Chains A and B, each alone.
Chain A
Amino acid sequence: MHSFVFDVAHLLAGSLVLVSFMLLYQDRLYALLNVYALHAFVLALSVAWQAYAQDAPHLYATAAIALIFKAIIIPVVLHRMIVRLGIHREIETVVGIGPTMLIGMSLVALSMVVMLRVTAEADPLAREDLAFALSVVLLGLLMMVTRRNAVSQVVGFMSLENGLVLAAAGARGMPLVVEISVAFSILIAFIVIGIFLFRIRERFDTVDIHALDRVRGERL
């Protein structure tokens, strides 16, 4: 029975990494949002499974937040925002898709090497979970670095936060304080981003971060 629990947790956490890779190669905003919704959905499943495996009912709340807030509300709102702003075109990337995927793979390898080595004595469930969580975090970071569009940077940031939630869920008995705070921070982050997108639009008629780069470093 234990190995089955472990296998499913492993499968779900592994899928989350896989979906993170899928986020990396999306070149249209709508598709990106759909994949992000999938990302959040897999996260919800994974956290719910952790709740079952650890017999920790409070984690179901975290899973529910992930499902309702991140997998449904945020993608829908962002979708509508994109329609309203009329920016549903292709996303410009700084680095090509091929090199990005290669960098992504080496990041995953890196996090496996680091985390599996230092957690040799920890509970195997938490151990694998943590290694996958770090991969998701690093892939989210990679996405933020390689995209120019504000919306896709935001999606990168949210996928990074998903990785953090996975890590927090995998840590056995971690107090609820942190899960709430993570959800809370996403909420705030989203409001902030919303305001920013709105103001960026108000000022420059674009949400392309590239347009924000005009004033780099020093003004004369």
Chain B
Amino acid sequence: MTFDAVTAVLAIPLTAALVLALLPGYRLSAYINVGAALLTFLTALSLFYFGRPQAGPYLLVDDLNNVFIVLTTFVGFTTSVFSASYIGHELETGRLTPAVLRFYHAMYQLLMFAMNLALVTNNIGVMWVAIELATLTTVLMVGIYRTHEALEAAWKYFILGSVGIAFALFGTILVYLAAEPVIGQGLDSMVWTNLVDHAGALEPALLNVAFVFLLLGYGTKVGLVPLHAWLPDAHAEGPTPISAVLSGLLLNVALYALLRFKMLLAANPAALAPGPLMISMGLVSLLFAAFMLYRRRDIKRLFAYSSIEHMGIVAFAFGMGGPLANFAGLLHMTMHSLTKSAIFFAVGDIAQVKGTQTIADMGGLTETNPVLGWGLVTGVAAIAGLPPLGIFMSEFLVVSSTFARQPLLALPLVLGLLIGVGALFLRLNSIAFDEPRGPAFKAKGSYAPMVAHLGLVLTAGVYLPGPLVAWFQNVAKLLG
């Protein structure tokens, strides 16, 4: 009997969510949370070694989503480790109560379940349900502090997220309508592998309209400008582990949904090319976010805008298409997830030490808290795309592949990148190297997740293992 890893990836977080909802006592819950996340991650890894099940009407594992699943469960695991050390302080300062923490842990696992479900499902209807579930759980988590700002952020996120989700559902219905005359009524017409097999025969006009709705709908969740308004607020007001999960994972999952539909359109020669739409939204996001970085005074908001910038770059790369740009996009997405969650781990600790998120009230971190300070410096250097860290390589690939094919598009791309770098270093300078400001004591949060992520990013920048490169190249080809 073979071990069914795909079901396990879904069942573990779901069971854990139920258990955590029933268990009082936050210490035990935190350990269970970490344990469940680790177990999920190991199960996801086993997909590489034990082969994968056949694609069914509900579940599908192929080269593309395998990468996403492993990344999601890994960052989910490290974030749960960080969260376990982070929440103790929140409890001491009275920002959270034990009852709220119980809810928080259950929601964390439910979120992991929803994201894994969105990734492994083969059914576009189930995918929609999963992304909606992920949205609702994060809405509840963002509002968990119940402060004025947290409620405002959660409400904004909820309203914009639901509108996005409504558009995505409309797009999904249109895809079904396009498929129904070809594949037949019922469940078969919502199975993604069937859709791709018959893509050439689907009605192109319907697919075009469907893609526009899906791009608007899932694009809201990716945080593409002009649908990004919820993102900075949600990142700034929620608990920091949730900011890390939002930036590092949820944006990717929504992008993954978009990629699936992009592949569908690409397989139909008569349908509109999805590339230019994604390229223009990506570029607009990049430029807009790069300029917005300059006026940020809240540290979490700063890095939230940086996430918009990087999702713009990734959308741009996938929009360009072709083996090299897709490879660069995949690499950039992976590196961004790792780096940005590492930065949020550092930021969470910093905010707890300083008791504020306002940049003006923190300074000289490299003197007062060397590990945190230099961790943040490394993280920002990575996210800004300095060599030898991983993002340098992926950005270099994006830029060079663009220069090779569309030199004119490369100009705004490089401009946006440079503007963003300037803003990040301006802020970093005052946080890390100025006169020490604000209280200074040793942070409670664990440094291990941050160090592990940054280590991976550094390793990837210096040396990418051959099998990984081959795997990514294979996926890049699959994306077309």
Contacts and interface: CB of A to CB of B under 8 A. Distances in A.
B166 A215 contact: no
Contacts of B148: 203-204, 212, 214-215
Interface string A182-220: 101100110011011001100110000100111101111
A168 B123 contact: no
Nearest to A145: B163
B132 A185 contact: yes
A61 interface: no
B173 A178 contact: yes
A178 B358 contact: no
A51 interface: no
B405 interface: no
Contacts of A160: 163, 166
Contacts of B186: 173, 175
A212 to B, nearest CB: 5
B136 A188 contact: yes
Interface string B85-129: 000000000000000000000000000000000000001011011
A15 to B, nearest CB: 20
B118 to A, nearest CB: 13
7 contacts: A144-B163, A164-B170, A168-B173, A171-B180, A181-B129, A188-B136, A199-B151
B143 interface: yes
A77 interface: no
Nearest to B184: A173
Interface string A132-176: 011001000100100000100100010011001001100111110
Nearest to A216: B152
A164 B151 CA distance: 27
A126 B177 contact: yes
A118 B132 CA distance: 27
A178 B125 contact: yes
Contact of B177 (A171, A178, A182): A171
Interface of A: 114-115, 117-122, 126, 130, 133-134, 137, 141, 144, 150, 153, 157, 160-161, 164, 167-168, 171-175, 177-178, 181-182, 184-185, 188-189, 192-193, 195-196, 199-200, 203-204, 209, 212-215, 217-220
Contacts of A150: 155
Name the residue in A174, A184, A215 with the highest tally of chain B Cβ atoms < 10 Å from its Cβ: A174
A200 B151 contact: yes
Nearest to B162: A157
A7 to B, nearest CB: 22
B152 to A, nearest CB: 5
Contacts of B155: 150, 196, 200, 209, 212
B205 A118 contact: yes
Interface in B403-457: none
A50 B174 CA distance: 17
B28 interface: no
B126 to A, nearest CB: 7
Contacts of B205: 117-120
Interface string B125-159: 11011001000100110010010110110110011
B297 interface: yes
Interface string B155-183: 10011001101100110111011001100
B60 to A, nearest CB: 16
Contacts of A167: 170, 173
B367 interface: no
Given A173-B180, A173-B186, A164 B166 contact: yes
Name the residue in A121, A184, A215 with the highest tally of chain B Cβ atoms < 10 Å from its Cβ: A215
Interface string B186-205: 11011000000000000101
A192 B140 contact: yes
By secondary structure, the B interface counts as helix
A182 B169 contact: yes
Contacts of A121: 181, 203
Given A168-B173, A177-B123, A219 B149 contact: yes
Nearest first, the 6 A-B pairs at minimum CB distance are A173-B185, A118-B205, A181-B129, A212-B152, A175-B187, A178-B125
Given A160-B163, A171-B176, A188-B136, 20 more contacts: A118-B206, A122-B177, A122-B203, A164-B169, A164-B170, A168-B169, A171-B173, A171-B180, A173-B189, A178-B190, A181-B128, A184-B129, A192-B136, A195-B140, A196-B154, A203-B148, A212-B155, A219-B149, A219-B358, A220-B358
B221 interface: no
B209 interface: yes
Contacts of B181: 121-122
A130 B297 CA distance: 46
B354 interface: no
A35 B125 CA distance: 30
B185 A196 contact: no
A159 to B, nearest CB: 11
A189 B123 CA distance: 23
Nearest to A154: B159
A193 B151 CA distance: 12
B52 interface: no
Nearest to B212: A114
B238 to A, nearest CB: 15
A61 to B, nearest CB: 16
Contacts of A217: 232
Nearest to B154: A196
B147 to A, nearest CB: 8
Contact of B298 (A117, A137, A218): A218
